[in-house]
Structure 1
């Protein structure tokens, strides 16, 4: 599941909106929305994010947060380490090989390290 997919599902559940009803309102298929929610499709377009924001009446910080999550929701990431140190390349490859096995608390610690000032 992607960050956008998780938030979209949470919004639907909080507001009692069926997948088919949201799909109809934003003029996409239920299968496409389901794939977005489950992380089987890439990040949604800015237009779709805008439509979802309008459907749920999200404004200001909530709308920006949904847009931010959409930008961070590509399920197949490509990382170019050309020109970086050998350690950076090794780290990227090790992370790619092991990310599915990492417990949530380890992922949270790595995310905290990325958010820390350099």
Structure 2
């Protein structure tokens, strides 16, 4: 059975994305490999440095930017991250970092969700289970 090693998030600026995903969200840098322009740039969860890597991939392919714009226009997050407490995390992100909250925390079936803007052309969903 295959394992998930990488998951891509297409970003409009790799340097800005690195700052957002590390300084704001709290991921840690795993790889930063120059590739003649774009970089192989990955981050991981701080408590799982050998776990799944999030690839901050340039959105240079002609199909990517229209796809990203359509998702944002429709309010659809490109991916989701689990947090311990959505309310506390949204408060921290908006107060300490000025992150734009697109959808404040709200119940959605068995979880609570919120949607934020990653400043790199994407919406991100944050969620937690009811026990959180």
Please confirm whether the aligned pair reaches a TM-score higher than 0.5, indicating the same fold: no
Q: RCO (CA 8 Å, sep 6+): is it higher in 1 or 2?
A: 1
TM-score, length of structure 1 as denominator length: 0.26
Q: Structure 1 or 2: larger strand share?
A: 2
Q: Which has the larger radius of gyration?
A: 1
Q: Structure 1 or 2: larger helix share?
A: 1
